[in-house]
Amino acid sequence: MADNHIVSAFDQELNALKTKVLRMGGIAEANIASAVQAVVRRDRALADRTINSDARIDVFDGEISDLVTRLLALRQPMAVDLRHIVGALKIATDLERIGDYAKNIAKRANSIGIAVPVQTMHAIPRMGEMVLSMVKDVLDALSNEDADRAVEVRDRDPALDELYNSVFRELLTYMMEDPRTITGCTHLLFIAKNLERIGDHATNMAETVYFIVRGSRMQSDRPKADITSQISDPTVAA
Amino acid sequence: MADNHIVSAFDQELNALKTKVLRMGGIAEANIASAVQAVVRRDRALADRTINSDARIDVFDGEISDLVTRLLALRQPMAVDLRHIVGALKIATDLERIGDYAKNIAKRANSIGIAVPVQTMHAIPRMGEMVLSMVKDVLDALSNEDADRAVEVRDRDPALDELYNSVFRELLTYMMEDPRTITGCTHLLFIAKNLERIGDHATNMAETVYFIVRGSRMQSDRPKADITSQISDPTVAA
């Protein structure tokens, strides 16, 4: 009886941990969406709300870290429970980072100016949609303990990287054609890079979900297609 | 006697974990240094060696993750030991990220081209030195369990952010003055940003070291001075 009581208190705490991670993920999702919207619509009020909302993500991160430490110290969990607990810590770290990138995107929303080419303003929301669906699906995979879905999220990252490559080349070309766009395009470059990084963190989370569910590592030949660091002349290389 | 044996096996594993983290940190340090050198000297061979060396950091990250899971599962550690183990996992995540940034800097070394202003080529190695001393000192703080030193590392981050701000403004100005420098300066912008991000991860590690040693969080008013996301016209705002 006493034993039952202990087990169920542990289960409660473990569920509380899982719920916290998913709620943190929900806020991160919302902040990515509103940050991209703030950029597209140059909506200063929305940008400010997004920036302020990041503090909530940081609070969750601290709470999850405390709960994990507590669970490890008091409950001495094993096997899949242990993987859930260590996994929660890893995922919270990725979500905290994602929150920072969303906040940074929102901050740049107010600095882009009007002298940026309109075509790029299509590519950014498209990147935003891809990233958002990756984050959403990896949280679903976590919630449903679905390792196959996690693999599928990981496999979508190269397409995001390729879109980023083409945005990068495009932006360099615009800057060369019209130096008045340089400041605005530089902010867009960083926004695109931030979105690409969010994709990397979604991929990290997918690997963690896989490990939680299966107890082994996802095969390591992680696809990677961001090659912008090798671009030396966009007008030729494109 | 049997009990002594168990305790000492645990101590051995815990020491092995600490050593692994410090060795991983040593490689990360070396890769930052050689990545910055590769940029400054446009040294393609050094850049390639740095890029290849990152795989060793990733191997350490995997090993640390496995060892942490094993220690948590089999040894059920408490108090300061538990903080060391969870802390090792967090620090390994930061070092893995730092390794990625160093690799990215090295990749860009070969793409900068020659049309970049020479002044900026002083700012990048200066940022590199600041970042390197932060990473070195936080690893020393970890090794010596020195919480005061960790606070001191955290407090150096704003100076790095300020240097990054001035590099950012400078690079935008150069690009506007001479569009031929746009591709090279864009790579330098990302290199500077990568160095600034390494500083953030050194700060994260400092907070983790503090937590390991003291068992409480470093006061949260973390200084932050990267304001480049708000720059809308560098020629005026500088």
Whether the pLDDT of residue B234 is over 80: the answer is no
Distance CA B27, CA A133 (A): 36
What is the H or E stretch that residue B156 is in? none
Distance CA B32, CA B130 (A): 11
Which residue of A78, A95, A186 to mutate against B (max B Cβ within 10 Å)? A186
Whether the pLDDT of residue A118 is over 90: the answer is no
**pLDDT tens track for A20-73:** 999 999 999 999 999 999 999 889 999 999 999 999 999 999 999 999 988 988
Top-confidence residue, B65 or A222: B65
* Chain A residue whose CA is closest to B81: A73
Residue among B112, B179, B232 minimizing CB distance to A111: B232
Domains, in order of start, for chain A: 2-237 (1.20.58.220)
| Distance separating the N- and C-terminal Cα atoms of chain B | 70
CA A127-B57-A92 angle, 5° bins: 50
Q: Across the interface, do B76 and A79 touch by the CB < 8 Å criterion?
A: no
Quick one: residue A135, left, alpha or beta (phi over 0 = left, psi -120 to 50 = alpha)? alpha
Residue among A82, A190, A229 minimizing CB distance to B69: A82
Q: Across the interface, do B175 and A190 touch by the CB < 8 Å criterion?
A: no
Which residue of A229, A231, A233 to mutate against B (max B Cβ within 10 Å)? A229
Residue among B69, B182, B190 minimizing CB distance to A175: B182
Distance CA B197, CA B191 (A): 10
Residue B136 CB: number of other CB atoms within 10 A?
17
Rg of chain B over Cα atoms, rounded to whole angstroms, equals 20
- What ipTM was assigned to the predicted interfaces of this complex? 0.76
Distance CA B163, CA B228 (A): 11
Residue A76 CB: number of other CB atoms within 10 A?
16
Q: What SS3 state is found at A233?
A: coil
Residues of A in contact with B69 (CB under 8 A): 82-83, 86
Taking the CA of residue A144 and the nearest CA in chain B, the distance in Å comes to 23
Q: What is the DSSP letter of A52?
A: H
Residue among A167, A229, A183 nearest B39 (CA): A229
Residue among A19, A18, A56 nearest A34 (CA): A56
* Chain A residue whose CA is closest to B233: A183
**pLDDT tens track for B86-145:** 999 999 999 999 999 999 999 999 888 766 766 667 889 999 999 999 999 999 999 999
**pLDDT tens track for A140-189:** 999 999 999 999 999 999 999 999 999 999 999 989 888 888 989 999 99
**Mean pLDDT of all residues belonging to chain A:** 89
- With cut-offs at 50, 70 and 90, classify the pLDDT of residue B8: confident
| Tokens 């999850």 belong to residue | A64
The answer to whether B105 touches B194, Cβ cutoff 8 Å, is yes
Whether the pLDDT of residue B30 is over 70: the answer is yes
Distance CA B58, CA B100 (A): 9
Residues of A in contact with B108 (CB under 8 A): 229
Residues of A in contact with B51 (CB under 8 A): none
* Chain A residue whose CA is closest to B169: A183
- DSSP string for residues in B107-127: HHHTTS-S-S-TTHHHHHHHH
Distance CA B56, CA A70 (A): 33
Which residue of B108, B182, B211, B222 to mutate against A (max A Cβ within 10 Å)? B182
**pLDDT tens track for B148-203:** 999 999 999 999 999 999 999 999 998 988 888 898 999 999 999 999 999 999 99
Residues of A in contact with B107 (CB under 8 A): 229-230
Q: Across the interface, do B230 and A69 touch by the CB < 8 Å criterion?
A: no
Distance CA A70, CA A89 (A): 12
Whole-number percent of chain B with pLDDT over 70:
89
The answer to whether B35 touches B124, Cβ cutoff 8 Å, is no
| Tokens 């966009």 belong to residue | A234
**What separation in angstroms does the CA of B63 have from each of A96, B27, B30, B89?**
24, 15, 20, 10
Q: Across the interface, do A111 and B231 touch by the CB < 8 Å criterion?
A: yes
